[in-house]
């Protein structure tokens, strides 16, 4: 029965989500689970440069997996042939894959899953199963989008976010370091979550975002960093649509991260599981060690990018 009266909750946002036509689920990794179950995938080829969450989903769904390497341009170094119910999992690292690249992979391998976790603003290509994560781009505690032509017949629950969002509200009103542990706990919690529909609260927040403004700010910040850092950066980068972060390759990465942290500039360690693989001669290991992902998102202005550059200068 509908409640009438009492205290007032959040007002509804009347905007439109960027991926309004996608299937909205509770996280990016659960988009992968959806695909494995819906398409009855038996084996996946995964890039070695990847976090453990996808491997864990494969294990959970009894899906065999095998690793492959990427090349220096973040593209798959894979020439194998896929059998029935076998898929290649391709990550669009830092949005460096073009639409033409993706079309070519689709033509070549046919069974492709594209991970656009780091390319939220890059729309999917027809007939390519494509997934996105909301937490990597916006102030939400969960949420993922999936484009696929295959429906999963199983019914699953609606997610709830009210008990997760505290650390995001805390950072908004206080600071990030006071709620870092809570943020990490939230990240870890998804390994025990089941496949669910995106929560009402996450939908609500995502309907209130000015996506054009976010996209433009990210692009301006990325391009500003690249204009200064490109002569020092060993990576050959394209300017992506609505960038995720700016990847700076430096053999002084450890010292740079330490210095940035001392100046309240927080740099994530992406794909830490690569260090545990023991493959010290792989490109994935090298990139995990030496790439510094610099923040360039919608929270910051050009003046913030200049401050970041000033801190970096002594190491370049």
Average pLDDT, the chain: 94
Kindly state the helix (H) or strand (E) to which residue 100 belongs, with its residue range.
helix 99-109
Does the predicted model carry a pTM greater than 0.85? yes
In this prediction, residue 281 carries a pLDDT of: 65
Residue 3 pLDDT exceeds 80: yes
In sequence order, the 6+-apart residues with CB closer than 8 A to the CB of 56 are: 29, 191
Q: Please, which pLDDT band fits residue 277 given cuts at 50, 70 and 90? A: low
pLDDT tens sequence across 52-80: 899 999 999 999 999 999 999 999 999 88
CATH 3.40.640.10 residue spans of the chain: 23-161+196-206
Quickly state the pLDDT bin for 1 (edges 50, 70, 90). Answer: confident
DSSP classification of residue 197: B
| R_g of the chain, CA atoms, integer Å | 20
pLDDT digits (tens, 9 = 90+) for 170-180: 999 999 999 99
Packing angle, helices 283-290 and 253-262, rounded to 10: 30
Q: Which residues in 133-144 are b (16+ Cβ under 10 Å) and which e?
A: bbbbbbbbbbbb
pLDDT of residue 280: 65
Percent of the chain residues past pLDDT 90, beyond the cut: 84
In angstroms, the CA 27 to CA 261 distance is 28
| Topology given in CATH for the domain delimited by 23-161+196-206 | 3.40.640
**36-45, 83-92, 116-125, 273-282: least confidently modelled range:** 273-282
Cα-based distances in Å from 165 to 72, 78, 206: 37, 40, 14
Q: Which of 59-73, 85-99, 174-188, 211-225 has the lowest average pLDDT?
A: 174-188
C-alpha pair distances (Å), 231 with each of 17, 227, 264: 37, 8, 25
CA angle 148, 120, 58 (to 5 degrees): 50
Side-chain-side CA neighbours of residue 185 (13 Å): 10
What mean pLDDT do residues 271-295 have? 83
In angstroms, the CA 228 to CA 4 distance is 57
The pLDDT, as a whole number, for residue 316 is: 82
Question: Quick check: 278 pLDDT over 70?
Answer: no
Residue 93 structure tokens: 């690292």
Averaged pLDDT for residues 188-216: 95
Q: Does 3.90.1150.10 match the CATH number of domain 211-315? A: yes
Question: In this predicted model, which residue has the larger pLDDT, 141 or 153?
Answer: 141
Structure tokens belonging to residue 94: 């830092």
Over residues 212-226, mean pLDDT? 98
Question: How many residues are there in the chain?
Answer: 316
Quote the tokens at residue 144.
């993922």
Mean pLDDT of 275-287: 76
Q: Would residue 85 be called left, alpha or beta, if left means φ above 0 and alpha means ψ between -120 and 50 degrees?
A: left
> What pLDDT does residue 2 have?
85
Render the burial of 264-293: b for 16+ CB within 10 Å, e for the rest. ebebeebbebbeebeeeebbbbbbbebbbb
pLDDT at residue 276 greater than cutoff 80: no
Using the predicted structure, report yes or no on whether residue 114 has a pLDDT greater than 70. Answer: yes
Structure tokens at 206: 């995502």
Whether residue 279 is predicted with pLDDT greater than 70 in this model: the reply is no
Q: Average pLDDT for residues 212-228, to the nearest whole number? A: 98
CATH 3.90.1150.10 boundaries in the chain = 211-315
**Please, what is the end-to-end C-alpha distance for the chain in angstroms?**
63
């Amino acid at each position: 029965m509908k409640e009438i009266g009492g205290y007032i909750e959040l007002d509804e946002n009347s905007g439109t989500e960027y991926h309004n036509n996608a299937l909205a689920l509770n996280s990016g990794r659960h988009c992968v689970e959806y695909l494995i179950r819906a398409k009855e995938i038996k084996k996946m080829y995964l890039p070695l440069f990847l976090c453990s969450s996808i491997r864990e989903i494969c294990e959970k769904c009894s899906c065999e997996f095998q690793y492959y390497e990427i090349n220096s341009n973040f593209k798959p170094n894979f020439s194998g042939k896929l059998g029935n119910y076998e898929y290649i999992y391709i990550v669009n690292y830092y949005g460096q894959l073009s639409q033409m690249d993706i079309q070519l992979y689709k033509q070549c391998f046919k069974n492709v899953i594209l991970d656009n976790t780091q390319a939220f603003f890059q729309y999917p290509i027809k007939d390519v199963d494509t997934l996105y994560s909301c937490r990597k781009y916006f102030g939400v505690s969960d949420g993922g989008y999936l484009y696929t032509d295959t429906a999963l017949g199983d019914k699953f629950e609606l997610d709830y976010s009210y008990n997760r969002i505290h650390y995001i509200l805390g950072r908004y009103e206080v600071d990030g370091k006071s709620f870092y542990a809570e943020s990490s706990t939230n990240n870890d919690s998804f390994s025990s979550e089941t496949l669910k529909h995106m929560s009402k609260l996450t939908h609500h927040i995502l309907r209130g975002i000015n996506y054009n403004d976010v996209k433009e700010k990210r692009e301006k910040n990325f391009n500003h960093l690249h204009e200064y850092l490109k002569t020092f950066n060993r990576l050959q980068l394209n300017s992506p649509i609505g960038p995720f972060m700016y990847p700076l390759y430096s053999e002084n990465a450890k010292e740079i991260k330490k210095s940035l942290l001392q100046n309240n500039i927080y740099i994530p360690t992406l794909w830490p599981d690569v260090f545990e693989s023991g493959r010290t001669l792989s490109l994935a290991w090298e990139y995990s060690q030496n790439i510094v992902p610099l923040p360039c998102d919608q929270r910051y202005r050009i003046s913030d990018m200049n401050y970041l550059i000033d801190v970096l200068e002594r190491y370049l």
